Amino acid sequence: MSKLMNVYNRLFKHFGPQHWWPGETRFEVVVGAILTQNTAWTNVEKAIKNLKKEKMLNCRKIANMDIKKLEKMIRSSGFYKQKAEKLKRFCRYLDKNYDSNLNSFFNRSPDEIRTELLSLNGIGNETADSILLYAGEKLKFVIDSYTVRMCERTGIKKVKTYHQLQDFFEKNLPKDIELYKEFHALIVELGKNFCRKKPRCDECPLKNICKYGLSVHD
DNA sequence: ACCCAGGTGGCCC
DNA sequence: GGGCCACATGGG
């Protein structure tokens, strides 16, 4: 078994299934992916709840809505001025080029879609891959700061760039979309529980393979 | 009173 | 290619 699968099994055994991504529709997943940038998910939930309540969780509506009104509705997700612009930019783009239809948007090769997502200001590597994996059902492994930290501390992989780490995961894991979804979610859960400023390494499911043992961090 | 969250882009060297 | 910074609310 690969070292990565060993890690996955440890995490799954410890935390159980994470059921990511929460969201009733593909569009909701995309909106969440943009709003959750460097922000706690609970703050994003409130913003999405507001959009739903006002029946504004809709691509064409957001594409055309007043920016100030949008800012107010997503305020709880933080960086709300930037995020309102990002959301509108994506929605305008999708409406203009794909008639607001995500099925059409995703009906191409992952790399083609990825390039297109990255061309939109406000969507970087992680957000693009989250959208591809969780909304588009594409085989793209999502890398985030927790993934980098986990790889450094366990000595799984020396980290250089986003793409190098992503290649490493994609080459050493079975080509299974559900596994990709679950693994990324589990790594986030690991990070939230054990890799903060006050770590609890004694209870960490990776304590036996983390090269830093119980005392050294970052 | 801190710390930090399911990042990104701009600017500098 | 890396290092630093602004962006902002809300929970522990």
Q: What domains are there in chain A, each with its CATH number?
A: 3-19+142-203 (1.10.1670.10), 26-135 (1.10.340.30)
Q: Which nucleotide is nearest to A195 (CA to C1')?
A: B4
Determine the protein residue whose CA lies at the shortest distance from the C1' of C7. Answer: A79
Measured from the CB, is A208 under 7 Å from any atom of strand C? no
What residues contact residue A171 under an 8 Å CB cut-off, 6+ apart?
Answer: none
Measured from the CB, is A89 under 7 Å from any atom of strand C? no
Distance A145 CA to C6 C1' (A): 19
Cβ neighbours, 10 Å, residue A218: 9
Distance A115 CA to B7 C1' (A): 18
Measured from the CB, is A41 under 7 Å from any atom of strand C? no
Residue among A132, A137, A126 at smallest CA distance from A187: A126
Measured from the CB, is A144 under 7 Å from any atom of strand B? yes
Measured from the CB, is A208 under 7 Å from any atom of strand B? no
The pLDDT score that the predictor gives to residue A159 is 80
Residuewise pLDDT in 10s, chain A (218 residues)? 789 999 999 999 999 999 999 999 999 999 999 999 999 999 999 999 999 999 999 999 999 999 999 999 999 999 999 999 999 999 999 999 999 999 999 999 999 999 999 999 999 999 999 999 999 999 999 999 999 999 988 888 888 899 999 999 999 999 999 999 999 999 999 999 987 766 677 788 998 888 765 433 44
The pLDDT score that the predictor gives to residue A218 is 43
The pLDDT score that the predictor gives to residue A32 is 98
Q: Which nucleotide is nearest to A18 (CA to C1')?
A: B6
Measured from the CB, is A46 under 7 Å from any atom of strand C? yes
Report the C-alpha gap between A175 and A94 in whole angstroms: 29
The pLDDT score that the predictor gives to residue A201 is 77
The alpha helices in chain A, defined as continuous H runs, are 3-15, 26-35, 41-53, 59-64, 67-73, 80-98, 102-106, 110-118, 125-130, 145-154, 162-172, 177-194
**A115 and A87 Cβ atoms separated by less than 8 Å:** no
Report the C-alpha gap between A57 and A152 in whole angstroms: 39
Measured from the CB, is A161 under 7 Å from any atom of strand C? yes
Report CA A163 to chain centroid distance, whole Å.
Answer: 15
Measured from the CB, is A23 under 7 Å from any atom of strand B? no
The pLDDT score that the predictor gives to residue A199 is 66
**A58 and A49 Cβ atoms separated by less than 8 Å:** no
Q: Is A71 helix (H, G, I), strand (E, B) or coil?
A: helix
How far CA A132 is from CA of A33, A50, A81, A102, A114, in Å, comes to 10, 25, 25, 11, 7
Distance A71 CA to B9 C1' (A): 20
Distance A162 CA to C12 C1' (A): 30
The pLDDT score that the predictor gives to residue A198 is 65
Measured from the CB, is A80 under 7 Å from any atom of strand C? yes
The pLDDT score that the predictor gives to residue A212 is 63
